[in-house]
Amino acid sequence: MKIGIVIPAHNEEQYLPTCLQSVQRAIQELRDYHVEVLVVLDSCMDQSRSIVQEYQVNWIECNYACVGKARDLGIRYLITQGVTWIACTDADSHVNPDWLVCQMQHQPTDAICGIVMLDDFSHLSMLKKQRYLSHYQDQMNHQHIHGANLSFTVDAYIQAGGFEPTPCHEDVLLIQKFIKQYCHITWSNLVRVTTSSRLIARAPQGLSHFLNEL
């Protein structure tokens, strides 16, 4: 199995170094697998490209301002490089050291929906924190879907037609297509990612929107 990691980034210079460090550590924890990392720089006007170059990670650029199109672009590029398993995360997130190890432990499966943890609760009101914790299921067989922690086989992705070219909810739409084509989906809380709890969104109606609406 050849693994491809896709990281879309839109002006993420603040978070990108931590993201790339965590991904590199996760790769080091994995044995006997070839892993390709690709950052998709989407309409970046900051220092994101310089950071990616500093970490010697492969990158491509686009001007979509659309996370669904950016993810799909990166995945289809990695498919041409021969990857058979795709792992998605986001530039404002950092993965656990055993992120890839746990994905391999869940094989065989068509897709894995992992969970995300918020990096900081301090700027959230007590009510927002309580509502979030009461909503979120940190357990196996949860039903949460996050583009920041989503992985799948290339075969399932191609059969589903890929991510929809939408600025949000591309992750949910993909899983819905997987379900319709009877893919085996693993809902795991062992595959873990920590993500930004910022309230100013990059993607409309994403996690920031959810936090604001609590």
Confidence of residue 60 (pLDDT cuts 50, 70, 90): very high
Is the pLDDT at 133 greater than 80? The verdict is no
Q: How many domains does the chain have?
A: 1
Decide if 158 is inside a domain.
yes
* Residue 78 belongs to domain with CATH number: 3.90.550.10
pLDDT above 90: percentage of residues in the chain:
80
Decide if 96 is inside a domain.
yes
Distance from C-alpha of 196 to C-alpha of 189, rounded to nearest angstrom: 18
pTM beyond 0.75? yes
pLDDT in tens, 103-132: 999 999 999 999 998 887 666 778 777 777
Decide if 128 is inside a domain.
no
Distance from C-alpha of 107 to C-alpha of 87, rounded to nearest angstrom: 13
Which structural domain, as residue segments, surrounds residue 59? 2-120+140-198
Decide if 135 is inside a domain.
no
